[in-house]
């Protein structure tokens, strides 16, 4: 999914935290930056003023403004024109310094957002880089219920009516935590990390057939919900039928991988049938995942034990 953010959106999201103020009119508010755009050049998405490898958000601290003041009039104007010609998303002045009139004129003529903040440069740099990296990271919305089970992020998937919400509700009563119901959003925040969150509209809510929409925080307390969690395991609920019942590996179970944003996420399929305790089975699946992450696989251990027994028995015979 291609993500993008405009200067106005960035300002709206960070102006309180960074105490940003918009200088002049709101020119440049609709200028966009898209994910992957910064990869075509060497610059980062945010950084101190750089006229050789320009950043998408140019930060002007005390040193940068002093450097501009040291240029002669012609060279200074050429430099300002060069800065705005790269069409940065925004120019940000630190420490509430006064904005030079020619810099303001260049920004207004080019339609470039010009902001000022009382924060120091390194504070602005750190928060802008982090926020832009998250906002522009690849993301996807998946259908299912996302929970934290034994500190592991687990996505429960399955066809409509397979019992995902009922299973999630029972797990919550057993002390596990809800992250998102129906449409969890996953963002790739690192090469091998998918962070799952809940859309604001669905925050803390769980829809259960026959009961309607439940507010989990109000019903079970603050510890029953969690804002975000890394996706580590997918548990798929599959109704048992005559066709697929005989295909299940009785020793190793039905374990595979599912690709999400280019990453292979372990997936365990649990057959759904009357009388099966799905909450206990899912908890066991998570414990099994934890064991396998530690290098312990009960199925492999059993087969190795069985092979050793056969070899020992054959030798004795």
- Annotated ligand binding at 109? The verdict is no
- Annotated ligand binding at 165? The verdict is yes
Tell me if 236 sits within 8 A of 278, measured CB to CB. Answer: no
Please name the residues in contact with 279: beta carbons below 8 A apart, sequence gap of 6 or more: 167, 170, 171, 174
Residue 174 appears among annotated catalytic residues: no
- Annotated ligand binding at 160? The verdict is yes
Residue 250 appears among annotated catalytic residues: yes
The C-alpha torsion from 238 through 241 and 242 to 245, rounded to 10°, is: 30
User: Which one from 42, 75, 120, 143 is the annotated catalytic residue?
Assistant: 143
Distance CA 32, CA 5 (A): 6
User: Which one from 31, 164, 176, 232 is the annotated catalytic residue?
Assistant: 164
Residue 123: strand, helix, or coil? helix
- CA dihedral for 181, 182, 185, 186, sign (positive or negative): positive
- Annotated ligand binding at 163? The verdict is yes
Residue 164 appears among annotated catalytic residues: yes
- Annotated ligand binding at 159? The verdict is yes
DSSP-assigned states of every residue in 219-278: HH-GGGB-SEEEEEEEEEEEE--TTTGGGS-TTT-SEEEEEETTEEEEEEEEEE-TT--H
Q: Which helix (H) or strand (E) holds 67?
A: helix 62-69
User: Which one from 69, 192, 249, 250 is the annotated catalytic residue?
Assistant: 250
Q: Could you tell me the two tokens for 195?
A: 């962070």
Residue 107: strand, helix, or coil? helix
Residue 30 appears among annotated catalytic residues: no
- Annotated ligand binding at 35? The verdict is no
User: Which one from 31, 177, 181, 182 is the annotated catalytic residue?
Assistant: 182
List the binding residues for ATP: 158-165
List the binding residues: 158-165, 207
Which of the residues are catalytic? 143, 164, 182, 250
List the binding residues for Mg(2+): 165, 207
């Amino acid at each position: 999914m291609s993500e993008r953010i405009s200067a106005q959106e960035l300002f709206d999201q960070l102006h309180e935290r960074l105490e940003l103020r918009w200088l002049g009119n709101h020119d440049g508010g609709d200028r966009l930056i898209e994910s992957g755009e910064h990869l075509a050049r060497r610059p980062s998405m945010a950084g101190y003023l750089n006229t050789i490898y320009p950043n998408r958000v140019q930060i002007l601290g005390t040193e940068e403004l002093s450097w501009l003041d040291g240029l002669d009039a012609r060279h200074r104007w050429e430099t300002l024109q060069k800065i705005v010609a790269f069409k940065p998303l925004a120019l940000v002045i630190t420490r509430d310094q006064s904005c030079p009139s020619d810099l303001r004129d260049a920004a207004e003529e080019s339609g470039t957002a010009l902001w000022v903040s009382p924060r120091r440069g390194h504070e602005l740099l750190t928060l802008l880089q982090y926020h832009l990296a998250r906002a522009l990271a690849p993301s996807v919305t998946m259908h299912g219920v996302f929970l934290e089970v034994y500190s592991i992020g687990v996505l429960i998937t399955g066809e409509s009516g397979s019992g995902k919400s009922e299973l999630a509700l029972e797990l919550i009563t057993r002390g596990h935590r809800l992250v998102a119901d129906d449409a969890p959003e996953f963002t790739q925040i690192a090469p091998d990390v998918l962070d799952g969150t809940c859309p604001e509209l669905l925050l803390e809510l769980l829809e259960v057939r026959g009961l309607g929409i439940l507010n989990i925080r109000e019903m079970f307390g603050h510890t029953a919900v969690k804002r975000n969690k890394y996706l580590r395991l997918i548990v798929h609920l599959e109704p048992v039928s005559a066709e697929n019942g005989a295909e299940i590996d009785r020793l190793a179970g039905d374990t595979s991988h599912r690709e999400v944003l280019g990453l292979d996420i372990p997936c365990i399929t649990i057959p759904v049938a009357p009388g099966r305790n799905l909450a206990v089975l899912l908890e066991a699946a998570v414990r099994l995942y934890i064991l396998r992450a530690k290098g312990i696989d009960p199925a492999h251990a059993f087969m190795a034990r069985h092979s050793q027994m056969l070899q020992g028995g054959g030798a004795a015979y």
